């Protein structure tokens, strides 16, 4: 069984996607009521439909509407939780993969929000929450052999100019 409200909460990759309203709710309700009226109108007068059956159908439809409302509220709570979780990453160090598959590291400076959800600002670059691979309180060392950002080498002995500098 497929419930459209819960399918709208996450994207196929399992990362954040903003909640969307169910599209056919009012049309479905009107169609159900039209079918119910047509069923009553064209029933056999010698063999009328059971009133308990109509009551049961109405109760099932009402229960379905309430479950849809709960699913919509849950989607809203999930979106809020993801947004608050993203703000908790400010000041942390993250590693992430860009659209070309290159690994980058940096410190989260801020979080911005757009229609696709929260975006981390890592050293001036916008990074989707789903791109983050590692989170740390301390700077992350790049993996050996992995491509890194130029200019991020923090080893003072690796500067070629420092080898020729006079020592005192």
Residues 84-103 pLDDT 10s = 888 888 999 999 988 888 88
| Span 33-87, pLDDT tens digits | 888 788 878 887 777 777 788 788 888 888 988 999 999 999 989 988 888 888 8
Task: Using the Cα atoms of residue 110, residue 114, residue 102 and residue 8 in order, give the sign of their dihedral.
Answer: positive
The pTM of this model reads 0.49
Q: What is the CATH number of domain 90-141?
A: 2.30.30
**Strands 93-97 vs 132-136: parallel, antiparallel or unpaired:** antiparallel
Domain ranges of the chain: 4-14+21-87, 90-141
């Amino acid at each position: 069984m497929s419930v459209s409200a819960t399918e709208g909460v996450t994207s196929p990759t399992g990362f954040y996607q903003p909640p969307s309203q169910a599209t056919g709710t009012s049309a479905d309700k009107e169609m159900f009521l039209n079918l119910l009226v047509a069923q009553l109108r064209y029933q056999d007068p010698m063999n009328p439909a059971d009133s308990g059956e109509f009551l049961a159908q109405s109760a099932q439809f009402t229960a379905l509407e309430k479950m849809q409302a709960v699913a919509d509220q849950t989607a809203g709570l999930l979106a809020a939780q993801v947004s608050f979780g993203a703000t908790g990453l400010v000041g942390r160090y993250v590693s992430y993969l860009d659209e070309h598959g290159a690994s980058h590291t940096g410190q989260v400076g801020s979080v911005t929000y757009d229609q696709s959800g929260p975006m981390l600002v890592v050293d001036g670059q916008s990074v989707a929450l789903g791109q983050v691979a590692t989170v740390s309180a301390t700077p992350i060392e790049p993996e050996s052999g992995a491509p890194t950002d130029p200019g991020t080498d923090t080893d003072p002995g690796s500067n070629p100019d420092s080898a020729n500098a006079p020592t005192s």
